[in-house]
Protein backbone atom coordinates (compact mmCIF):
# COMPACT_ATOMS: atom_id res chain seq x y z
CA UNK A 1 0.00 0.00 0.00
CA UNK A 2 1.40 3.40 -1.02
CA UNK A 3 1.72 5.85 1.87
CA UNK A 4 -0.19 9.09 1.28
CA UNK A 5 1.71 12.01 2.77
CA UNK A 6 -0.32 14.56 4.69
CA UNK A 7 1.51 17.78 3.85
CA UNK A 8 -0.95 19.75 5.98
CA UNK A 9 0.81 18.35 9.07
CA UNK A 10 4.27 18.77 7.58
CA UNK A 11 4.86 15.30 6.17
CA UNK A 12 7.74 16.22 3.90
CA UNK A 13 9.97 13.30 4.82
CA UNK A 14 13.74 13.45 4.55
CA UNK A 15 14.92 11.04 1.83
CA UNK A 16 18.50 12.22 1.32
CA UNK A 17 20.61 9.93 3.50
CA UNK A 18 23.67 12.15 3.02
CA UNK A 19 21.92 14.95 4.94
CA UNK A 20 21.15 12.57 7.80
CA UNK A 21 24.79 11.48 7.77
CA UNK A 22 25.99 15.08 7.87
CA UNK A 23 23.76 15.76 10.86
CA UNK A 24 25.24 12.81 12.72
CA UNK A 25 28.77 13.98 12.04
CA UNK A 26 27.83 17.38 13.44
CA UNK A 27 25.99 15.99 16.47
CA UNK A 28 28.97 13.88 17.56
CA UNK A 29 26.86 11.55 19.67
CA UNK A 30 28.47 9.87 22.66
CA UNK A 31 27.57 6.35 23.85
CA UNK A 32 25.82 7.83 26.91
CA UNK A 33 23.66 10.29 24.95
CA UNK A 34 19.88 10.00 25.10
CA UNK A 35 18.28 11.44 21.96
CA UNK A 36 14.78 12.81 21.45
CA UNK A 37 13.53 12.82 17.86
CA UNK A 38 10.38 14.65 16.79
CA UNK A 39 8.44 13.37 13.77
CA UNK A 40 10.56 10.38 12.68
CA UNK A 41 8.39 9.76 9.61
CA UNK A 42 9.59 6.61 7.90
CA UNK A 43 12.76 6.52 10.01
CA UNK A 44 15.56 7.75 7.73
CA UNK A 45 17.00 10.06 10.39
CA UNK A 46 16.12 7.62 13.18
CA UNK A 47 18.27 4.91 11.61
CA UNK A 48 21.19 7.32 11.29
CA UNK A 49 20.88 8.33 14.95
CA UNK A 50 20.89 4.71 16.09
CA UNK A 51 23.81 3.87 13.81
CA UNK A 52 25.82 6.81 15.14
CA UNK A 53 25.76 5.28 18.58
CA UNK A 54 23.83 6.45 21.64
CA UNK A 55 22.19 4.97 24.71
CA UNK A 56 18.55 5.61 23.79
CA UNK A 57 16.23 7.23 21.26
CA UNK A 58 12.74 8.46 22.14
CA UNK A 59 10.77 9.29 18.99
CA UNK A 60 7.48 11.19 19.12
CA UNK A 61 5.20 10.69 16.12
CA UNK A 62 1.56 11.73 15.71
CA UNK A 63 0.60 9.66 12.63
CA UNK A 64 -0.16 6.07 13.60
CA UNK A 65 -0.15 5.09 9.91
CA UNK A 66 3.64 5.11 10.19
CA UNK A 67 3.66 2.15 12.58
CA UNK A 68 4.45 -0.22 9.71
CA UNK A 69 7.72 1.65 9.11
CA UNK A 70 8.74 2.38 12.69
CA UNK A 71 7.61 -0.53 14.83
CA UNK A 72 9.88 -3.08 13.06
CA UNK A 73 12.78 -0.86 14.07
CA UNK A 74 11.92 -1.26 17.75
CA UNK A 75 11.89 -5.02 17.31
CA UNK A 76 15.44 -4.98 15.99
CA UNK A 77 16.85 -2.32 18.34
CA UNK A 78 15.63 -2.01 21.93
CA UNK A 79 17.22 1.43 22.29
CA UNK A 80 14.31 2.92 20.33
CA UNK A 81 11.09 3.90 22.11
CA UNK A 82 8.11 5.17 20.12
CA UNK A 83 5.56 7.61 21.53
CA UNK A 84 2.40 8.06 19.46
CA UNK A 85 1.35 11.57 20.39
CA UNK A 86 1.32 15.23 19.35
CA UNK A 87 4.80 16.65 19.99
CA UNK A 88 3.41 20.13 20.75
CA UNK A 89 1.34 18.88 23.68
CA UNK A 90 3.32 15.79 24.67
CA UNK A 91 4.30 15.56 28.35
CA UNK A 92 8.07 15.23 28.10
CA UNK A 93 8.38 14.81 31.85
CA UNK A 94 6.76 11.40 31.34
CA UNK A 95 9.85 10.07 29.54
CA UNK A 96 11.75 7.47 31.54
CA UNK A 97 14.94 9.49 31.16
CA UNK A 98 15.59 13.11 30.25
CA UNK A 99 17.16 13.35 26.78
CA UNK A 100 20.57 14.96 26.49
CA UNK A 101 20.07 15.91 22.83
CA UNK A 102 17.21 16.66 20.46
CA UNK A 103 17.73 15.85 16.79
CA UNK A 104 14.82 16.30 14.41
CA UNK A 105 13.37 17.30 11.07
CA UNK A 106 10.58 19.55 12.36
CA UNK A 107 7.28 20.05 10.55
CA UNK A 108 7.29 23.68 9.44
CA UNK A 109 3.88 24.65 10.80
CA UNK A 110 4.66 23.68 14.41
CA UNK A 111 8.25 24.93 14.68
CA UNK A 112 7.59 27.92 16.93
CA UNK A 113 5.06 26.42 19.38
CA UNK A 114 7.06 23.19 19.54
CA UNK A 115 10.30 24.98 20.33
CA UNK A 116 8.61 26.94 23.11
CA UNK A 117 7.27 23.69 24.54
CA UNK A 118 10.68 22.03 24.36
CA UNK A 119 12.45 25.00 25.94
CA UNK A 120 9.94 25.13 28.74
CA UNK A 121 10.00 21.36 29.28
CA UNK A 122 13.79 21.00 29.41
CA UNK A 123 14.92 24.34 30.87
CA UNK A 124 17.72 23.76 33.36
CA UNK A 125 17.87 20.00 32.66
CA UNK A 126 20.49 17.68 31.19
CA UNK A 127 19.20 18.52 27.70
CA UNK A 128 21.84 20.91 26.40
CA UNK A 129 21.76 20.55 22.61
CA UNK A 130 19.36 20.65 19.67
CA UNK A 131 20.09 19.98 16.02
CA UNK A 132 17.00 20.88 14.03
CA UNK A 133 16.06 20.92 10.38
CA UNK A 134 13.48 23.67 9.87
CA UNK A 135 12.26 26.06 7.20
CA UNK A 136 15.06 28.36 6.06
CA UNK A 137 13.32 31.50 7.28
CA UNK A 138 12.57 29.89 10.65
CA UNK A 139 16.24 28.99 11.10
CA UNK A 140 17.24 32.62 10.55
CA UNK A 141 14.72 33.81 13.13
CA UNK A 142 15.76 31.16 15.66
CA UNK A 143 19.40 32.26 15.42
CA UNK A 144 18.64 36.00 15.30
CA UNK A 145 19.35 36.55 18.98
CA UNK A 146 18.57 40.10 20.13
CA UNK A 147 19.21 43.49 18.62
CA UNK A 148 18.41 42.92 14.96
CA UNK A 149 15.45 43.08 12.58
CA UNK A 150 14.66 39.35 12.77
CA UNK A 151 14.76 39.07 16.55
CA UNK A 152 11.64 38.09 18.44
CA UNK A 153 10.50 36.49 21.72
CA UNK A 154 11.76 33.02 20.78
CA UNK A 155 15.19 34.10 19.51
CA UNK A 156 15.76 36.39 22.51
CA UNK A 157 14.89 33.55 24.90
CA UNK A 158 17.18 31.12 23.09
CA UNK A 159 20.00 33.68 23.28
CA UNK A 160 19.44 34.00 27.03
CA UNK A 161 19.35 30.23 27.57
CA UNK A 162 22.40 29.55 25.39
CA UNK A 163 22.55 30.44 21.70
CA UNK A 164 21.85 29.30 18.16
CA UNK A 165 23.54 29.29 14.77
CA UNK A 166 22.44 28.33 11.26
CA UNK A 167 24.84 25.66 10.01
CA UNK A 168 23.77 25.03 6.42
CA UNK A 169 20.88 25.10 4.00
CA UNK A 170 19.14 21.97 2.75
CA UNK A 171 17.50 22.00 -0.69
CA UNK A 172 13.86 21.05 -1.05
CA UNK A 173 14.94 18.09 -3.21
CA UNK A 174 16.20 16.36 -0.05
CA UNK A 175 12.57 15.68 0.93
CA UNK A 176 9.59 13.80 -0.45
CA UNK A 177 7.23 15.24 -1.31
CA UNK A 178 9.35 18.32 -1.94
CA UNK A 179 8.22 21.35 0.08
CA UNK A 180 7.78 24.71 -1.58
CA UNK A 181 10.68 26.24 0.33
CA UNK A 182 14.24 25.29 1.23
CA UNK A 183 15.22 24.16 4.70
CA UNK A 184 18.17 24.84 6.95
CA UNK A 185 19.84 23.12 9.88
CA UNK A 186 19.99 25.14 13.09
CA UNK A 187 22.08 24.23 16.12
CA UNK A 188 20.93 25.34 19.56
CA UNK A 189 23.17 25.01 22.58
CA UNK A 190 21.84 25.32 26.12
CA UNK A 191 24.00 26.34 29.04
CA UNK A 192 23.47 24.45 32.27
CA UNK A 193 23.67 25.29 35.95
CA UNK A 194 26.27 27.98 35.28
CA UNK A 195 23.65 30.01 33.40
CA UNK A 196 21.55 32.21 35.72
CA UNK A 197 19.00 32.59 32.91
CA UNK A 198 18.51 28.87 32.20
CA UNK A 199 14.96 28.87 33.59
CA UNK A 200 13.71 31.92 31.71
CA UNK A 201 11.59 29.83 29.28
CA UNK A 202 9.42 28.96 32.30
CA UNK A 203 9.25 32.54 33.58
CA UNK A 204 5.72 33.80 32.90
CA UNK A 205 6.67 37.47 33.39
CA UNK A 206 9.57 37.11 30.94
CA UNK A 207 7.33 35.54 28.32
CA UNK A 208 4.71 38.27 28.77
CA UNK A 209 7.34 41.00 28.60
CA UNK A 210 8.61 39.72 25.26
CA UNK A 211 5.24 38.94 23.69
CA UNK A 212 3.85 42.33 24.68
CA UNK A 213 6.95 44.21 23.60
CA UNK A 214 6.95 42.57 20.16
CA UNK A 215 3.15 42.73 19.76
CA UNK A 216 3.39 45.26 16.94
CA UNK A 217 6.85 45.39 15.38
CA UNK A 218 6.35 48.76 13.75
CA UNK A 219 5.41 50.37 17.05
CA UNK A 220 7.73 51.65 19.73
CA UNK A 221 8.18 49.84 23.04
CA UNK A 222 6.19 52.58 24.74
CA UNK A 223 3.21 52.06 22.45
CA UNK A 224 3.41 48.28 22.76
CA UNK A 225 3.63 48.46 26.55
CA UNK A 226 0.67 50.79 26.69
CA UNK A 227 -1.42 48.47 24.51
CA UNK A 228 -0.32 45.20 26.10
CA UNK A 229 0.09 46.15 29.75
CA UNK A 230 -1.56 49.56 30.15
CA UNK A 231 1.73 51.28 31.07
CA UNK A 232 1.09 55.00 31.38
CA UNK A 233 2.95 57.36 29.06
CA UNK A 234 4.96 59.04 31.82
CA UNK A 235 5.90 55.67 33.35
CA UNK A 236 7.03 54.40 29.92
CA UNK A 237 9.32 57.39 29.54
CA UNK A 238 10.81 56.94 33.01
CA UNK A 239 11.32 53.18 32.60
CA UNK A 240 13.02 53.61 29.24
CA UNK A 241 15.26 56.39 30.54
CA UNK A 242 16.24 54.30 33.58
CA UNK A 243 17.58 51.64 31.19
CA UNK A 244 19.31 54.16 28.89
CA UNK A 245 16.78 53.52 26.13
CA UNK A 246 15.40 56.22 23.89
CA UNK A 247 11.76 57.26 23.98
CA UNK A 248 11.32 55.92 20.42
CA UNK A 249 13.13 52.60 21.03
CA UNK A 250 11.71 49.61 19.19
CA UNK A 251 11.90 46.00 20.37
CA UNK A 252 14.25 44.81 17.63
CA UNK A 253 16.83 47.41 18.74
CA UNK A 254 17.28 46.03 22.25
CA UNK A 255 20.24 43.86 23.21
CA UNK A 256 20.00 40.81 25.44
CA UNK A 257 21.34 42.77 28.46
CA UNK A 258 18.58 45.34 27.82
CA UNK A 259 15.88 42.66 28.00
CA UNK A 260 17.37 41.05 31.10
CA UNK A 261 17.52 44.45 32.76
CA UNK A 262 13.88 45.21 31.91
CA UNK A 263 12.81 41.87 33.39
CA UNK A 264 14.18 43.06 36.73
CA UNK A 265 12.42 46.43 36.60
CA UNK A 266 9.82 46.28 39.38
CA UNK A 267 7.73 49.11 37.96
CA UNK A 268 7.37 47.44 34.56
CA UNK A 269 6.90 44.00 36.11
CA UNK A 270 4.06 45.28 38.27
CA UNK A 271 2.18 46.38 35.13
CA UNK A 272 2.87 43.02 33.47
CA UNK A 273 1.62 41.00 36.44
CA UNK A 274 -1.65 42.93 36.57
CA UNK A 275 -2.51 41.74 33.07
CA UNK A 276 -3.57 38.12 32.91
Pairwise CA distance, residues 87 & 81, whole Å: 14
Check: CB of residue 98 under 8 Å from CB of residue 34: yes
- What is the pTM for the complete model shown? 0.94
Q: Residue 25 contacts by C-beta under 8 Å, 6 or more apart in sequence?
A: none
Domains of the chain: 7-190 (3.40.50.150), 203-274 (1.10.8.100)
Digit-by-digit pLDDT tens for the chain (276 residues) are 577 777 666 678 999 999 999 999 999 999 999 999 999 999 999 999 999 999 999 999 999 999 999 999 999 999 999 999 999 999 999 999 999 999 999 988 899 999 999 999 999 999 999 999 999 999 999 999 999 999 999 999 999 999 999 999 999 999 998 888 999 999 999 987 678 899 999 999 999 999 999 999 889 999 999 999 999 999 999 999 999 999 999 999 999 999 999 999 999 999 999 876
Check: CB of residue 10 under 8 Å from CB of residue 62: no
Amino acid sequence: MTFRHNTEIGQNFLVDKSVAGWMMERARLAPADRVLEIGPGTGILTKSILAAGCARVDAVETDIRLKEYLEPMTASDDRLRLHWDDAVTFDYSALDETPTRIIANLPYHITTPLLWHLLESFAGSDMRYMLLMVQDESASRIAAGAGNRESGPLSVTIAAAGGAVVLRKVPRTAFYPSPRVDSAIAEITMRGEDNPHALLPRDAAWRKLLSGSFAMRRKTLANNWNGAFGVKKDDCAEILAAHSLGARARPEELTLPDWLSLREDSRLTSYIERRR
